[in-house]
Structure 1
């Protein structure tokens, strides 16, 4: 291989590496657009919160509705923080309500 060809290959590799480095520094976030609100006709099915990483330099919140539509929300907004607090409160109450509180004395069994 000639020296000029080696130089072009080396330059191409350097361009690819620099492009990859630029994409990793906050350029490949999941949320390119933040939604202003949720579609109230559908219930929330799932919430994923992605922390800052090498690939994205911000916290991202992706909400999936029961119709499988996905919304990106701004975790810094008060309305989003209230929504999360409300969901966490409901989940905590459901967990407390599902705990069995029966004691051996309160159980009734028939004797033969």
Structure 2
């Protein structure tokens, strides 16, 4: 009888673990060296996370598909530099002077890619 209870508890724990919450893992399995810059709609950079020990750069193309770029490649580094500069320019334009306010309900600047809730994610604006 004692063994039967142990088996039931073990089975219940196994089911809970298997059907539990989301399984976090790296988003990029394969990376590419570059992509046609005219097809890029946006860039998202993910830093190191507890469940993924590598930096990931994901570009969203104009056809809504996504590609993973190799962060060590010169193309990717140049792309991130361009997007970071553009993000700082957009941030300066959005910065309001003392005494002015943004419209009610405005939480995100237009033309940016929202991060998917990850604190180490860098959201950068889309190039026009």
| TMscore range, shorter length | 0.5 to 0.7
Q: Which moved more, 1:56-65 or 1:85-94?
A: 85-94
Residue 5 (structure 1) aligns with:
4
Structure 2's unaligned 5+ residue stretches are: 94-128
Matched, 1:53 2:52: no
Distance (whole Å) between structure 1 residues aligned to residue 2 and residue 41 of structure 2? 59
Per the TM alignment, residue 9 of structure 1 is displaced from its structure 2 partner at its CA by: 3.3
Q: 1:14 to 1:78 in 2, by over 3 A?
A: same
Number of the residue aligned with 1:37: 34
Q: TM-score, normalised by structure 1?
A: 0.57
1:65 to 61, 66, 71: 61
TM-score norm. by structure 2 comes to 0.51
Higher relative contact order (CA 8 A, sep 6+): 2
CA distance in 1, matches of 2:7, 2:36: 52
Deviation at 1:15, TM superposition (A): 8.9
RMSD: 3.3
Match 1:82 to one of 78, 81, 84: 78
Point out the structure with max Rg over C-alpha. Answer: 1
Question: Which has a greater percent of helix?
Answer: 1
